[in-house]
Structure 1
């Protein structure tokens, strides 16, 4: 079903308002626990405002081990909005929510540009809409989507710069370098890949070096946390532990499964009949990374939903898309109701039920991956046709 740009923008605006109404309950009741979990309106934005000294104007990376646990651009956004907007925690949340709403509208627009026949799906995806204001992820997602859009339109330098910015905002987009490398390899353009990688690395270095050199401990905190953290909410490892299968050496197992998954993806992309597009393959690498990672945050659905939309081929793929969204909605309810119980609510979701639902969520994402991979393997949609349908015909 094709809709106009105006309709997509209106849907995205309405989705942003609906999501804000959900989170605003917590703002009006003071972000108290277990109430913020019972009403599923918890957000990291107010939670970190005081915990990381942002309310006192402290630079995001100057507190050593207590610095913000995010890459440089996200930390800078957290700090700048705290400096510019005075008068308390709710104003801080409202300002960041407004910026995130604008980003969601932009992401909906760029998704529509890449996949006009399914562009309406992102602002209608319930799990994504329910998660808009949990964290600052949309800043990185917007740059990642721009990187994909420009890459498939052959604007490789702009794409590499956008990817470097995205990686400096949230590290997940680094994994897009794998399908990008394979696409260049399939096209026999190794020199172009080296140039692309050099531009992305240079962009990342230009952004990160000033912070790494001036506040190295604070800058390193994000990377140290991700290298050494144990299993956490939503992950395969955390769920298995709660269900009685407490595997040792989870760091190594996570890396091993990641290597296996990425190797399988590489083999799959190399044996496709024609070189794939980044828009068609980005979803695969992101699902693999998230499925085996040591944390699988509820807002990660914001990363996968636009990628899933631009990877759809035709209406036959809608069933698996909505099935996966249903599993994500179920998990969205489960995580908050379990945390409600943990923080003293009269009613809540026991840990065993929560862990089982977390595994269902991971399983649903893998089903989405397998379905889309099978469709792309058998499809006769070639890159030239894809580009024509997703941007080349637009001014």
Structure 2
């Protein structure tokens, strides 16, 4: 034992030996991230037990569309989504539902008309279990993608999130968030075709990944990285068409059902508009108001991404546009917390922000089920707690948006840029210069603006007087020109 070792070091066995490996298993992010994810998901599975035994799905906080839609979307009768029964989801989510049904058949369950109640219940339990395993794998893919990014320890914010514990099995949203994170990982690694493929698959699962093309386009406009953008956008369109076209050709009406269902939808659970209705404030022509709010907000975000002195990071733009969409959307389901979680971790990896986000979402999660069960009925004063939870949830999202915008204009406060980095997960945008047209328009030089914490550049030294006698040059170095700046 070394007597000079600190007290804690002596308590644990002395200083680290010369052959020890500081980068060993327990000093890496991935074993902790996957272990925490496993524990989190096991608790989520345990919470499903009351619903599997027929107890109240709302008061026991175990409601799941997965279980309900086995009965109500033709799966129990062997009907294939889209082809034989309409579903209110994009094509790839319908295919994921069908995949779960096929696994039920492989495990001995039944999916056909004329089954008795016990047979239907057994198959429903199998479907829920099989889907839960698939969803866990997708959450594993999500965590793995973030472990492969520049700040692997931030993946613990995803693995430990209460969002997984509460909303992980409400719907099939794990599919789209895994695909979206794979797209961002591929873009960060400059694998532009793969970024487009993953993004196209994500849009085929849920519509919101389409919004990410907006920040990609604006940042390509700002930096002139058009080739990379068009490769990704082309791969996105080609992938989405390849997935959707066969279903459209087989059943145009079935394919269109998702679109008509969402267009005709009114103010629904979780949305700001729904809470305003409960508070006695009705918004006429809601679809137009929603569209106008989205357009104005998107233009404001585009202006920030384009004209901010320091070019924003891709993750910041992605978070802002998706958060705007959720704030103004006609429905803000409790599982949509999963859409924002990975983007928040990339845009502003601060535990305080993560905690505030988690508190707001968890409070809303508790309120929505009490509201649906009637505990927070609008007929009693306690009913106000539901719409207040909606306002608090939306308010926290708006606050987080303001924090990200502050980071954009004060990059020294950006957790990712504190060490002098630019956009390490931004792919070709990392350390990219502004395009010449923008330099001319804003009268800024070719280099990105310095961080606010960077020391000022020293004043140039005064020029020395020209000697009366010419000095000899050595190897012609005096006539060499400096290397032009990298574009």
CA distance in 1, matches of 2:342, 2:286: 30
- Structure 1 residue 273, shift from structure 2 partner: 3.1
Say whether the 8 Å CA contact 1:236–1:291 is kept in structure 2.
yes
Other-structure match for 2:356: 323
1:280 aligned residue (299, 316, 328): 316
Other-structure match for 1:233: 269
| 1:47 and 2:56 aligned | no
CA distance in 2, matches of 1:175, 1:89: 35
2:224 aligned residue (161, 165, 188): 188
CA distance in 1, matches of 2:360, 2:72: 32
Other-structure match for 1:353: 385
Deviations 1:114-134 (A, max 9, x none): 232422111222133211000
2:86 aligned residue (67, 71, 74): 67
Deviations 1:71-112 (A, max 9, x none): 111101101211330431011001001111111122122223
Other-structure match for 1:108: 143
| 1:363 and 2:382 aligned | no
CA distance in 2, matches of 1:73, 1:126: 26
Deviations 1:369-392 (A, max 9, x none): 111221232115299935658999
1:36 aligned residue (57, 62, 74): 57
Deviations 1:32-73 (A, max 9, x none): 5xx10001100000110110101111110134xx51110111
Which stretch of structure 1 is more off in the superposition, 245-254 or 321-330?
321-330
2:366 aligned residue (333, 342, 346): 333
Q: 1:39 to 1:391 in 2, by over 3 A?
A: farther
| 1:96 and 2:131 aligned | yes
Query: When the two structures are aligned, how many residues end up with a matched partner?
Result: 380
- Structure 1 residue 184, shift from structure 2 partner: 1.1
Secondary structure of the structure 2 residue equivalent to 1:196: helix
| 1:374 and 2:374 aligned | no
- Identify the structure with bigger relative contact order (alpha carbons < 8 Å, sequence gap 6+): 1
1:20 aligned residue (33, 45, 49): 45
Say whether the 8 Å CA contact 2:294–2:324 is kept in structure 1.
yes
Say whether the 8 Å CA contact 2:41–2:164 is kept in structure 1.
no
CA distance in 2, matches of 1:156, 1:119: 23
- Unaligned runs of 5+ residues in structure 1 are none
Q: 1:389 to 1:248 in 2, by over 3 A?
A: closer
* Larger Rg, first or second structure (1 or 2): 2
**Where do 1:117-128 residues align within 5 Å?**
117-128=153-164
Q: TM-score, normalised by structure 1?
A: 0.90
- Unaligned runs of 5+ residues in structure 2 are 1-26, 110-122, 429-487
- Structure 1 residue 282, shift from structure 2 partner: 1.4
CA distance in 1, matches of 2:392, 2:87: 31
What is the root-mean-square deviation in Å for CA atoms of aligned residues?
Answer: 2.4
